[in-house]
């Protein structure tokens, strides 16, 4: 089973700044943890990050043709603003799980709104980098359930 992990803007900076909000794990650390878990779950992942809205959308648009069965996404700030990202996810019709490292509801009000959550198969937030791992477990279950029904 192939899962695409999509990461939005500034997540490449993880571990270098704002460590009180996002922790000290780097983006590469999270990638390594996800790779280990994927192996345990017998899933194959590709981890993609871009600071550009269009690049994220292009990647999501190709997901079905590239053989992915689900999308794990930390949209970063685009989750609060991008109708285009929402539309791209809906157009794939693949199940997606939204993750956030921080608890967006405990932060500034402009972060309380997600344009993706109501269409997500699940949302995991506030567990630090573990949000990704919990999200991957949930998504793999959803894809397996869908395949068996
Ligand atoms: O908590 C999350 O995972 C977020 O998606 C992270 C985004 C933020 O805009 C969302 O509201 C919540 C920020 C991405 C990371 O930004 C960094 C900026 C500086 C240093 C490290 C990371």
73 lines ligand 1 (CB under 6 A): no
Q: Are 64 and 91 in contact (CB under 8 A)?
A: no
Given this model, what pLDDT does residue 63 score?
A: 98
For ligand 1, atom 6, name the residue with the nearest CA. Answer: 76
Q: Please say if 22 is a catalytic residue.
A: yes
Query: Which numbered atom of ligand 1 lies nearest the CA of 13?
Result: 21
49-58 pLDDT, tens per residue?
A: 999 999 999 9
Q: What separation in Å is there between the alpha carbon of 76 and the centre of ligand 1? A: 5
Q: Which pTM value belongs to this model?
A: 0.98
The answer for residues whose C-beta is within 8 angstroms of residue 147's C-beta and 6 or more apart is: 69
Domains and CATH numbers, the chain: 2-148 (3.40.50.9100)
18 lines ligand 1 (CB under 6 A): yes
The answer for residues whose C-beta is within 8 angstroms of residue 55's C-beta and 6 or more apart is: none
pLDDT truncated to tens, each residue of the chain (149 aa)?
Answer: 999 999 999 999 999 989 999 999 999 999 999 999 999 999 999 999 999 999 999 999 999 999 999 999 999 999 999 999 999 999 999 999 999 999 999 999 999 999 999 999 999 999 999 999 999 999 999 999 999 98
Given this model, what pLDDT does residue 149 score?
A: 82
């Amino acid at each position: 089973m192939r899962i695409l992990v999509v990461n939005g803007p500034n997540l490449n900076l993880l571990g270098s700044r704002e460590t009180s909000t996002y922790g000290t794990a780097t983006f590469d650390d999270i990638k390594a943890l996800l790779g280990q878990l994927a192996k345990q779950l017998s899933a194959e992942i590709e981890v993609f990050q871009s600071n550009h809205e269009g690049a994220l959308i292009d990647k999501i648009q190709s997901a079905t043709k590239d053989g992915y069965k689900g999308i794990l996404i930390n949209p970063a700030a685009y989750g609060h603003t991008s109708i285009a990202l929402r539309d791209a996810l809906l157009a794939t019709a693949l199940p997606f799980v939204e993750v956030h490292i921080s608890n967006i509801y405990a932060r500034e009000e402009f972060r309380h709104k997600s344009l993706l959550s109501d269409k997500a198969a699940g949302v995991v937030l506030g567990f630090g980098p573990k949000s990704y791992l919990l999200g991957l477990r949930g998504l793999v279950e959803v894809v397996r359930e869908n395949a068996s029904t």
